[in-house]
Amino acid sequence: MRTNEDTTASALEAALPDGAVMTDPDLLASYRHDQAAGAGAGQPAAVVFPRTTAQVQAVMRAAHRRQVPVVPRGAGSGLSGGANATDGCVVLCLDRMDAIREIRPADGYAVVEPGVINQRLRDEAAAHGLLYAPDPASREWCTIGGNIATNAGGLCCVKYGATRDAVLGLEVVLADGRVTRIGRRGIKGVAGYDLVGLFVGSEGTLGVVTQARLRLRPLPPPPTTAVALFPDLVSAGRAVESIMMVAIPSLLELMDATTLAAVERFAPMGLDTSAAALLIAQSDLPGQAGDNEADTILTACDAAGATEAYRSEDAEQADMLLGARRLAFPALERLGAWLLDDIAVPRSRLAETISSIERIAADREVVIGTFGHAGDGNLHPTIVYPHDDPDAAVRALAAFDDLLHVALRVGGTVTGEHGIGMIKRHVLAEELDPVARSLHDTVKRALDPTGILNPGKALPLRP
């Protein structure tokens, strides 16, 4: 380890309890990167495991004095390289800060530390008759801190919004070790700039979240599930457009034929793999209102050209279909090397976007399985190609960029919920106009003037 790294490690060991600082190179390897394919990672000098805000402050003060990069990390479940280490950095692993400090049903919020697992919070809230709405696919192992860093979404976004819509307040440690507490305790408030909204989705480049006040909602009744099969993806896209003009489903998910076949091979459950696309919708309205909304959705599917449209027969069948959707990515990644994209487009351009994805797959000679949160236009085209095939890898990377440019061409965005991380910075510069890019630079310099927080992530590359 270089002298500066030795000095930093010594300072960290002096400031933190025994066992909170890891410097063994063999152990550091597992903290170098998240789950993103194709994103580079450096070798950290140390990984630290704070348990309190004061300990996070100590880490940031030591790093700030020595100009050492700090990479915040949760469970490492990200898909954009946002938690990847840089050479000589300190990885700030927050998974030991995992307390649910309070749940206040009357006020409609919970206060949690960043290492709390998403599903654990959902379970605790449900025990109080409440719902924590954001539910990313990785909810059983991803952390609230990581969700805040990327403004994570999930299946319920179409009705309840992404993580930003659930965050009322934050405690944040800044680059120089100062602590700020921003936001509000009530559901409503507009005093001052929306600093909470600024930090949510900033991917650890502006500060380190050490506590969050999160909105909870009344737990809805068991949902009514509607399912429709389509002869082509364009018809499914049209159905989504129509549904969202007449209903507000609690989820509206899409899987294409490639994804259906992969899921059926991965976990056989009798899915109709002859269909070009499957839509799954749910209504969490109570009683007859839920049935009526489901029927409205099915009518829209029939009008768009569905070959079959029906309500699930029982809760077991509904859980099976939703489980199939949640298995989409694990099933596709078993087929070979993969690149998971994350684009979001206006619903009115959804059918056009899906058609473009099909053309890209043919032009680049790669397999693309498309699934995603169709109700808010957020698609996850997943490029699959053979392992150890350099030519296929080049084509896959080209297809990945093609997909990003399709999203921009139709007025969408290069990421709906996974973040920019490392892998999309080059295209973010195209999405943001010159003034917007300068504003990003200004905010970054104001909050992290020495540039030590998660360098090389989230911000656009200069064109």
Per residue in 48-91, pLDDT (tens digit) is: 999 999 999 999 999 999 999 999 999 999 999 999 999 999 99
CATH number, domain at 80?
3.30.43.10
Residues 205 and 262 reside in one and the same domain: no
- Residues comprising the chain, all counted: 463
Residues 399 and 362 reside in one and the same domain: yes
Residues 157 and 272 reside in one and the same domain: no
Are the CB atoms for 199 and 175 separated by under 8 Å?
no
Rounded Cα–Cα distance for residues 441 and 55 (Å): 28
**Mean pLDDT (the chain, rounded):** 95
**Residues 48-59 as b or e (16 or more Cβ within 10 Å = b):** bbbbebebbbbb
Residue-number span of the structural domain to which 116 is assigned:
100-218
Nearest to 262 by CA among 380, 364, 378: 380
437 assigned to some structural domain: no
Per residue in 261-304, pLDDT (tens digit) is: 999 999 999 999 999 999 999 999 999 999 999 999 999 999 99
Which one-letter DSSP state was computed for residue 36?
-
23 assigned to some structural domain: yes
421 assigned to some structural domain: no
Per residue in 369-381, pLDDT (tens digit) is: 999 999 999 999 9
Last residue of a domain, one of 93, 127, 159: 93
Q: Is the pLDDT of residue 3 over 60?
A: no
- Tokens describing residue 445: 């310099």
Over residues 101-119, mean pLDDT: 98
Over residues 431-459, mean pLDDT: 97
Q: How far is CA 375 from CA 156, 241, 339, in A?
A: 10, 8, 23
Last residue of a domain, one of 52, 76, 93: 93
Residues 57 and 187 reside in one and the same domain: no
CATH number, domain at 229?
3.40.462.10
Residues 151 and 228 reside in one and the same domain: no
Which one-letter DSSP state was computed for residue 76?
S
Residues 41 and 167 reside in one and the same domain: no
258 assigned to some structural domain: yes
311 assigned to some structural domain: yes
pLDDT for 461 equals 86
Residues 173 and 235 reside in one and the same domain: no
282 assigned to some structural domain: yes
Whole-structure pTM value: 0.95
Q: Is the pLDDT of residue 5 over 70?
A: no
Transcribe 348-381 into DSSP letters: GGHHHHHHHHHHHHHHHT-EEEEEEEGGGTEEEE
Q: How far is CA 337 from CA 11, 18, 228, 384, in A?
A: 41, 40, 30, 6
Are the CB atoms for 456 and 422 separated by under 8 Å?
yes
pLDDT for 78 equals 96
pLDDT for 317 equals 84
459 assigned to some structural domain: no
Cα torsion 180, 114, 322, 399: sign: positive
Sequence-distant (6+) residues with CB within 8 A of 303 are 239, 242
Strand ordering across the sheet containing 46-48: 21-22, 46-48, 90-93, 70-73
Q: How many domains does the chain have?
A: 3
Rounded Cα–Cα distance for residues 196 and 373 (Å): 25
Residues 75 and 104 reside in one and the same domain: no
CATH number, domain at 203?
3.30.465.10
Are the CB atoms for 243 and 249 separated by under 8 Å?
yes
Residues 400 and 260 reside in one and the same domain: yes
Q: Is the pLDDT of residue 410 over 60?
A: yes
Sequence-distant (6+) residues with CB within 8 A of 87 are 42, 43
440 assigned to some structural domain: no
Per residue in 292-349, pLDDT (tens digit) is: 999 999 999 999 999 999 998 788 888 888 889 999 999 999 999 999 999 999 999 9
Last residue of a domain, one of 62, 93, 124: 93
Residues 353 and 213 reside in one and the same domain: no
Residues 211 and 305 reside in one and the same domain: no
Nearest to 224 by CA among 124, 296, 143, 323: 296
Could you tell me the pLDDT band of residue 1, with boundaries at 50, 70 and 90?
A: very low
For 167, list phi and psi in degrees, rounded to 5.
Answer: -95, 120
- Tokens describing residue 330: 């694990």
Residues 298 and 396 reside in one and the same domain: yes
Q: Is the pLDDT of residue 114 over 50?
A: yes
